[in-house]
Amino acid sequence: MKLFNKVAIIGVGLIGGSLGLGIKKRRLAGEVIGISRHQRTIDSAIKRAAIDRGSLDIKEINAADLVILAAPVNSIIRTGLRLPRLIRPGSLVTDTGSSKDIVVSRLEKVLSNFVGAHPLAGSEKQGVMNADADLFCGSLCVLTPTAKTSKTALTKIRRLWRALGARVVCLSPARHDRLIAYVSHLPHIIACSLIKSVPRNSLYFASSGLRDTTRIAASPAAVWKDILLTNPENVLRALDEFAACLSRIKSAVKKGDARRLEQILEQVKSKREILNHK
Amino acid sequence: MKLFNKVAIIGVGLIGGSLGLGIKKRRLAGEVIGISRHQRTIDSAIKRAAIDRGSLDIKEINAADLVILAAPVNSIIRTGLRLPRLIRPGSLVTDTGSSKDIVVSRLEKVLSNFVGAHPLAGSEKQGVMNADADLFCGSLCVLTPTAKTSKTALTKIRRLWRALGARVVCLSPARHDRLIAYVSHLPHIIACSLIKSVPRNSLYFASSGLRDTTRIAASPAAVWKDILLTNPENVLRALDEFAACLSRIKSAVKKGDARRLEQILEQVKSKREILNHK
């Protein structure tokens, strides 16, 4: 089912590469063009058949009827602001950034056909060599339309993500950032703090518990620096909430209050079980 | 390779059941007897063939030359203190508790052939129905001998764990508790605090990041209440260390200090990668 003639993906890493593979596998576009700052990345993306052709020159996007910004958040904004002079009239633009309020508010000022998107998929791995045509199958993709968003553009972007296998949910950019701060940005900071606090000489004794709780701390630093710094208020609020919860458990341990501690751990266990039935 | 004539396992849950299955699969004992307070547990353990026979009556351990205490830490201590009147002379006793200092100091006062053990394996699942004959294969098992520990007993218990596929490391009980506080007890509290702090309405948006960071929060509350309350000093010290690391990341987010934040995230990423090469 062809949805677009030419799709240009700016940033052919794990997410951009998986988009290319997924679009090509399902024949959702006539051609997929990859734009990167590094020839090596383009070569890898072509080798993996994630793109049909690639270029270091962003002007190549002029041929595309859909442009996907799949880079760290600050690059999405920087590149997005240059697009009005580069795309042809009527082209759609979307992105894959993990913070939405700042991206959407900046880009919809200059682009009439912009739809913010955040696929809730990925891994701590990076690069097109880890890309997967089915990365988005069964995952959630949040679209963040506003009053300014074109209905036609929204429909087309929704169709793209559904064709890639994702369930699509629409949220306002601000609500997205509030919710995702808790389920993604907060866990990231916690996992990083946790691995930072473990003395090196005890890492030898780590088993699956520490491994799983800190897996996401191996994610690319440049990507996460941008995410956390573009959603600071929500992140700081989530951190305060976390600190309050932690201090309740800590206080039960300090006091040796077995009844209170078991009660908290029981509540936590049944809340965690919701994630198994999602 | 038969190492024991009769092994009695007190507590036939995930760990006790996996021990029974592993011992029977490798023919390490002539007979495996399961002791539980619940007939239902014994029935399940027999059905899974994790034990040859079971009993509600702890006196049955009199036939065993090895008794394994595989219950929550406080039950290990409570039951262990009753053993001198129940076992026959020369029988070995070992345990599987996650806190060692208190267990070993209490039990070696009354048992001449006690060897403390902590297999660093398991999962958030519980019960003999989730037991696995190969749960300990490739995992680490910490033995915690002291000056009082019989060398013969230590050799036999080391042989048992090696036969079950574990790598065996010896640490003093105090050193065990210090190290394990960081790699196991701290991550547990952090995972619990994290899931506790996430608002229910945002759980729908959770993906693999939150799922993995909080998996262990679904572990049995009664087991973990005992573990945390029997190693409070080390747990509280690890929590202080964690708080210091968290506050460094929080401060970089608050100040919008991109360089500092990226530097921390880079350090964290390379430290986390050690766990992939372990």
| pLDDT over 80 (residue B10) | yes
- Interchain CB contact of A211 with B (< 8 Å): yes
- Interchain CB contact of A233 with B (< 8 Å): no
Give the pLDDT confidence of B42-85 residue by residue, as tens digits.
999 999 999 999 999 999 999 999 999 999 999 999 999 999 99
Q: What is the percentage of chain B residues whose pLDDT exceeds 70?
A: 100
Q: Is the ipTM of this complex over 0.90?
A: yes
| pLDDT over 90 (residue B192) | yes
- In Å, the largest CA–CA distance within chain A is 67
| pLDDT over 80 (residue A278) | no
Q: What is the percentage of chain A residues whose pLDDT exceeds 90?
A: 96
Q: What pLDDT score does B266 carry?
A: 98
**Which residues is A6 bridged to in the sheet?**
A31
Please report, for residues B86, B161, B210, the alpha-carbon distance to residue B119 in angstroms, rounded to integers and kept in the order given: 25, 9, 26
Mean pLDDT score, B15-28: 98
Q: What pLDDT score does B260 carry?
A: 98
| pLDDT over 80 (residue A83) | yes
Q: What is the percentage of chain B residues whose pLDDT exceeds 90?
A: 96
β B92-95/B114-115 pair status: parallel
Q: What pLDDT score does A74 carry?
A: 96
Partners of B193 on chain A (C-beta within 8 Å) are 242, 245-246, 249
Q: How sure is the predictor about B160, in pLDDT bands with cuts at 50, 70 and 90?
A: very high
Q: What pLDDT score does B64 carry?
A: 98
Mean pLDDT score, A29-41: 97
Give the pLDDT confidence of A144-170 residue by residue, as tens digits.
999 999 999 999 999 999 999 999 999
Give the pLDDT confidence of A175-203 residue by residue, as tens digits.
999 999 999 999 999 999 999 999 999 99
Q: How far is B213 from chain A (nearest CA, A)?
A: 4
Q: What pLDDT score does B50 carry?
A: 98
| pLDDT over 80 (residue B278) | no
Dig out the tokens for A169 from the structure: 């949910």
Q: For residue A202, what is the DSSP state?
A: G
Give the pLDDT confidence of B201-235 residue by residue, as tens digits.
999 999 999 999 999 999 999 999 999 999 999 99
CB contact under 8 A, A205 and B140: yes
Q: What pLDDT score does A125 carry?
A: 84
Q: Are A197 and B245 contacting, i.e. CB atoms less than 8 angstroms apart?
A: yes
Q: What pLDDT score does B276 carry?
A: 86
| pLDDT over 80 (residue A55) | yes
Give the pLDDT confidence of A4-13 residue by residue, as tens digits.
999 999 999 9
Q: How far is B72 from chain A (nearest CA, A)?
A: 13
Q: What pLDDT score does A97 carry?
A: 97
Mean pLDDT score, B160-183: 98
Mean pLDDT score, B109-118: 97
CB contact under 8 A, B184 and A200: no
Q: Are B35 and B11 contacting, i.e. CB atoms less than 8 angstroms apart?
A: yes
- Interchain CB contact of A244 with B (< 8 Å): yes
Q: How far is B163 from chain A (nearest CA, A)?
A: 20
**Alpha-helical regions (H) of chain A:** 14-25, 39-47, 73-82, 101-107, 151-163, 173-180, 186-197, 208-214, 221-229, 232-255, 258-276
| pLDDT over 90 (residue B124) | no
Q: What pLDDT score does A172 carry?
A: 98
Q: How sure is the predictor about A124, in pLDDT bands with cuts at 50, 70 and 90?
A: confident
CB contact under 8 A, A262 and B225: yes
Q: What pLDDT score does A162 carry?
A: 98
Q: What pLDDT score does A276 carry?
A: 86
What distance in Å separates the CA atoms of residue A211 and residue A206, rounded to the nearest whole number? Answer: 7
Q: What pLDDT score does A238 carry?
A: 98
Q: How sure is the predictor about B277, in pLDDT bands with cuts at 50, 70 and 90?
A: confident
Q: Are A94 and A100 contacting, i.e. CB atoms less than 8 angstroms apart?
A: no
B122 vs B24, residue with greater confidence: B24
**Whole-model pTM?**
0.94
Chain A, 20 to 79: residues with Cβ < 8 Å from chain B are none
Give the HSE-up count for residue B177: Cα atoms under 13 Å, Cβ half-sphere.
23
Across chain A, mean pLDDT equals: 96
User: Which residue is it, tokens 């001998």?
Assistant: B145
Nearest residue in chain A measured CA to CA from B233 = A254
Q: How far is A128 from chain B (nearest CA, A)?
A: 19
Partners of A180 on chain B (C-beta within 8 Å) are 202, 205
Q: What pLDDT score does A277 carry?
A: 78
| pLDDT over 80 (residue A141) | yes
Mean pLDDT score, A90-115: 97
Partners of A188 on chain B (C-beta within 8 Å) are 209
Q: What pLDDT score does A123 carry?
A: 78
Nearest residue in chain A measured CA to CA from B142 = A205
- Spatial neighbors of A124 by CB under 8 A, at least 6 apart, are A215, A216, A217, A218, A219
Across chain B, mean pLDDT equals: 96
Mean pLDDT score, A65-79: 97
